[in-house]
Chains A and B, each alone.
Chain A
Amino acid sequence: MIQWVELTVFTLLFGLVTVLGFVASRWQRGDTLDHLDEWGLGGRKFGSWITWFLVGGDLYTAYTFVAVPALLFSAGAMGFFALPYTVILYPLVFLPVLRLWSVSRVHGYVTPADFVRGRYGSSLLALLVAITGILATMPYIALQLVGLEAVLRTMGLNGTGFLGHLPLLVAFVVLAVYTYQSGLRAPALIAFVKDILIYVVILVAVVYLPAKLGGWEVIFGAAEQKMATTNPNTGQPTGSILLTANNQLQYITLALGSALALFLYPHCITGVLASRGRAVLKRNMIALPAYSLLLGLLALLGYVAIAAGVKPITNGATGRPDTNTIIPVLFDNEFGSIFAGVAFAAIGIGALVPAAIMSIAAANLWTRNIYKEYLHRDANPAQEAKQAKLASLVVKFGAVAFILFVDPQFSIDLQLIGGVVILQTLPAVAIALYTRWLHRWALVAGWVAGMGYGMYLLYQIPNVAAKKAHFGGSALTLDKLDLLGWQPFAGSTLQIYVGFVALAVNLLVAVLVTLVLRRTGTSAGADATSPQDYHADEGSSRVKPVTQSAAGH
């Protein structure tokens, strides 16, 4: 049955952001939208507030808001890694992000691959970084749809087959059209609405629900009870509200690995490059943890859902219970229809903002590092912008097709792989911000090794609870870690994050190959950047005017 009041509130708010999305093309507009700096980076002039909402909406996605509590709901303490992950994130990236902003602003780089191209004079390395970025982003977009669909299904739009996906398709066509028209300004403006709604909803929920259910002690008690029950598939306890001896290392490496990976994702870099100057970014690194606090509180709603006796909805398309619906169901059960509708709109709109930014980022990569590099070398800025707009449509409909024709579980698996994959660009992008010591061919070799080994390890991981033999998660039991048949930790039951192991192999290979290539004197390529470029700020004469920068590629 369809929840009409909730659906009406949802539709009204959705309509509001649609109008905003179209109006955005006129907001703070430059001379022309036919330029990648304008369409793809909003004119590179966003101030502190816009950046806070935009990057906040970009990093803390609808899927995160739905999946993190779902993880606590089903596995316990392990899901809480999202909090340390987003706390160490800002001190970790504070300095490198500033260097990336400066060098990109001086040279007019739009994507991380542009920077790699300039830093190493290697179009192959840039191509690898671009492809990695696109591959890692695609399933991420698809996951935003999973978040949006969880909400739609909770409101009763839980049809089977194609009809069940139709509301999602409608929502995405609307998103695709206004992103095409307004570029990055659309998600920037919509992010204001999304984030304000999210803050209101979550703050109300974490104050009201514990009071209603008898306090946190009762809630954690209920969670502890549920985690102690035996999972029939594994014969082990379902989970634990504390870390166990086996998953502590996984908790640490997953938090650290995720923090290292996040600002390598093209959509996060897009948010950074769209800001006006270094001071804007610095202030944001201080203010963005407000979202981390929110995410931590939201994560605990997973336990609140246990205490409130929430049962996940069975997805009409796959026929399986979908734990991603627990937060929507919790709101549906515990709040009045109007507030639940607002909450659903917050999550739904929360899916649109990152999906738009991700598709823009992927489109920028395609345009700058594949189309312009290999297909149409002398494309002018207007042609670049046109190409990127079209690419953003292709990317979005690719993601929708994914959800329509492939089991959503596959997107979740791919997103897991995506994190491991994007981490392999760390040496070429993040380390390159500080030193060119690693040789460009060594970086290629490291990428191949890290990528191959990461895939191999992910393939080896089963998920007994979900009855899967391969790609069952990102937690590798050290016992299974083998290097060409050699098992250094045989017998160990400790778990570690695969991405971390793959990155270590990547770095090791890169260092070894660099040493060899230095001996043989292989050309290291030309560096288009100079040391001062990494400190240039807004207003510096090094910085090119926005509309000319991309032309002088």
Chain B
Amino acid sequence: MSDHVESDHLESDHVEQSGLRFSPWNLLLLVPFLMLVTPWFNSVEPRLWGMPFFYWSQFAFVPVGVVCVAIVYVTTRTEPSPTATARGGPDVEDVDDLDEGMANR
């Protein structure tokens, strides 16, 4: 058991060393960049309410961007360290919480 705690600690230290927290959900942030592929929508037809495709399709990307960012926000809201999610253990707290816990002691 103590071995486990030890390795947990080391692993989480390792993650914090690189200072990066990666969630696969973050990849959704790349989706809105599809609107940079202008040849896809650089045309007049089909029109919507008389507005050429070029214009209304780009408006349609506004909610796409919002939804992608919102999903990333919701899925990373607690920003757990990767070890905590992998083990699902309540014993591994956020580094900041640990800091605070120590400060209180």
Contacts and interface: CB of A to CB of B under 8 A. Distances in A.
Contacts of B95: 532, 535
Interface in A261-316: 279, 282-283, 285-286, 289, 292-293, 296, 300
Which of A83, A215, A300 gathers the greatest number of chain B CB atoms within 10 Å? A83
A80 B56 CA distance: 11
Given A215-B49, A217-B50, A220-B52, A255 B30 contact: no
Interface of B: 16-21, 26, 29-33, 35-36, 38-39, 42-44, 47, 49-52, 54-55, 58-59, 61-62, 64-66, 68-70, 72-73, 77, 79, 95-96, 99-100, 103
Given A248-B42, A286-B70, A289-B66, A220 B58 contact: no
A337 B56 CA distance: 32
Per CB-CB distance, the 7 closest pairs between chain A and chain B, nearest first, are A531-B19, A217-B50, A216-B50, A91-B29, A540-B96, A216-B51, A87-B65
Contacts of B33: 88, 91
Could you tell me the dominant secondary structure of chain A's interface residues? helix
A541 B69 contact: no
Contacts of B30: 91
A325 to B, nearest CB: 24
Contacts of B68: 91
A148 interface: no
**Contact-residue bracket for chain A:** 35 or more
Given A217-B50, A248-B38, A541-B96, A94 B29 contact: yes
B23 to A, nearest CB: 10
A90 B19 contact: no
Contact of A87 (B55, B61, B77): B61
Given A252-B38, A282-B73, A531-B17, A242 B43 contact: yes
30 contacts: A83-B58, A83-B59, A84-B35, A84-B61, A87-B62, A88-B35, A88-B36, A90-B69, A91-B31, A91-B33, A92-B29, A94-B29, A217-B47, A217-B50, A218-B50, A241-B44, A241-B52, A242-B43, A251-B38, A283-B73, A286-B73, A292-B62, A292-B65, A296-B59, A434-B19, A531-B16, A532-B96, A535-B19, A541-B100, A542-B99
Contacts of B43: 242
Nearest to B38: A248
Interface in A227-247: 241-243
